[in-house]
Amino acid sequence: MKAIRVQKEKAEEIRKFAEKIGAKDRKRFVKASGDFVEIPILDGYEHFFEGYEIVEQSFTIENPRKKIPELLEDQIPKELHKYLPISYKIVGDLAILKLSSEIEEYKKEIGNAILISNPRLKAVWRDLGKEGMVRKPKLELLAGKGSETVHVENGCLFKLDLTKVMFSLGNQHERQRIARECEGEIVVDMFAGIGYFSIPIAKRAEKVYAIEINPEAYRYLLENIKLNQLNNVIPILGDSMFLTPEGVADRIVMGHIFCQDFLETAIKAIKKEGVIHYHESTPIKVLERPINRLQKASKQSGRNCKILNFRKVKNYSPGVVHVVVDALIY
């Protein structure tokens, strides 16, 4: 069985391309090894990846998610199989999935099937959305037990309780992208949570101010600073509207998607010159709104603003996208 061996920083780009052309072997997992990643592909697609190393995998990991319909064959009517979840997220040793109402009465059977198919999991939770400014998760236990876990991502450890704080797997690339740009800098993370951005950034930055208003998330932020053996993170419990230090930062991270009211506070935290990474959830029909907000806030603060980058992080809901704007403030 063949796989493309690429460096980690290119892995996401190549994986997406392989999926787009139908080359990715969905029965096998992507496998990480040191600084490289092996992306499994189907036979006959090798010519699409000229210039990359093609390896023969002697040991492959079968994707346990493919076993779920087979395990439920005798428990769920055949006509309902089309409503079975085709994927689920794994955070540490916990699985999270969404279920449609059509198959809700079989939620316990689905949860147990996932546990049986993937022995490394200790519990399966159903995602019912998030609540409030702190985006507290609403979850329902379907199988197993336990909600606290330690998630490993790009060499960083994140301890959390899924029922108390959120963890977005979809932001992984963004976390690493920003971390790579912070070498030797002083960074302010205005919505630190459990350390999603602060932890990877601190491995490169000179100093990180990590501000978090949610006491539960703040408690895990403190634990994660210790877990990752960091001594350059300054944790601050409270509202970043009032506790963000002024004139200290080379870079500001605004990772909350509803933080437009905090823009002027963020700009005040920048030194004579610095970069803001501003996240927002915006309808596609007003896609320029985040840029306009940044420019307006800069003007009101008596500063100049140069847009460096504007990109989609992920889809948020139908017709709405999560975007990030990188802007130089001077």
The tens digit of pLDDT for each residue in 44-97 reads: 888 888 888 998 876 555 555 556 777 788 888 888 888 888 778 889 999 999
pLDDT, mean over the chain: 90
Looking at residue 58, what is its pLDDT? 62
Instruction: Enter the pTM of the model.
Output: 0.76
Looking at residue 10, what is its pLDDT? 86
- Joined together, the tokens standing for residue 25 give 């072997």
What mean pLDDT comes out for the span 268-294? Answer: 96
Contact 221, 212 (CB under 8 A): yes
Q: Convert the pLDDT of each residue in 97-124 to its tens digit.
A: 999 889 999 999 999 988 888 888 999 9
Dihedral sign, Cα of residue 241, residue 242, residue 247, residue 253: negative
- Joined together, the tokens standing for residue 263 give 């823009």
CATH code for the structural domain at 2-56: 3.30.70.2580
First to last CA, the chain: 53
Cβ neighbours of 216 (radius 10 Å): 17
Q: Give me the sheet containing 233-237, strands edge to edge.
A: 233-237, 207-212, 186-189, 249-254, 270-283, 320-329, 305-317
CATH code for the structural domain at 64-146: 3.30.300.110
DSSP string covering 1-31, please?
A: -EEEEEEHHHHHHHHHHHHHTT-B-TTB--E
Which residues make Cβ contacts (< 8 Å) with residue 136, sequence separation at least 6? 130, 164, 165, 166, 214
The backbone torsions φ and ψ at residue 165, rounded to the nearest 5 degrees and listed phi first, read: -135, 150
What residue segments make up the domains of the chain, in order of their start? 2-56, 64-146, 153-329
Q: Give me the sheet containing 89-91, strands edge to edge.
A: 89-91, 94-97, 123-131, 136-144
Q: Convert the pLDDT of each residue in 146-193 to its tens digit.
A: 999 999 888 899 999 999 998 887 788 889 899 999 999 999 999 999
**CATH superfamily of this structure's domain 153-329:** Vaccinia Virus protein VP39 (3.40.50.150)
Query: Residue 173 and residue 96: Cα distance in Å, rounded?
Result: 20
Radius of gyration of the chain (CA): 22
CA 55 remoteness from chain centre: 29
Do β-strands 36-41 and 89-91 pair in parallel, antiparallel, or remain unpaired? unpaired
Looking at residue 241, what is its pLDDT? 97
Q: Convert the pLDDT of each residue in 15-40 to its tens digit.
A: 888 888 888 887 677 887 778 888 98
Query: Residue 322 and residue 219: Cα distance in Å, rounded?
Result: 27
